[in-house]
Amino acid sequence: SKLFSIYNRERRTDPGLKGTIVLEIVIAPSGEVVEVRIVSSELNNSKLERRILSRIKQFNFGEKDVGTVTVSYPIEFIPS
């Protein structure tokens, strides 16, 4: 996935980088991400966290016949 590509690039300068980040994502009925924020993070890497937020803002989950949805989404980054 795109997020793990971003993570692996950052690991080049920080090989021990790992941890879980929990995001709150607000998705509009159109499928567009209208807001994303970090609820918690073990990454201790603000550059990576900013890149993850920026990438998720570009996601589109596809149009659905529902109202705006807010989801909590944990992502675990571990070296492969």
Domain range holding 7?
2-77
Other beta carbons within 10 Å of 28: 17
| pTM for the structure as a whole | 0.90
Q: Would you give the distance in Å from CA 64 to the centre of its chain? A: 21
Distance CA 14, CA 17 (A): 6
- Mean pLDDT per block of 10 residues along the chain (80 residues) reads 93 95 98 98 97 97 95 94
Give me the half-sphere count of Cα atoms (radius 13 Å) on the Cβ side of residue 44.
6
- The answer to whether 74 and 20 have CB atoms below 8 angstroms apart is yes
What CATH code is carried by the domain that includes residue 47?
A: 3.30.1150.10
Structural domains of the chain, count? 1
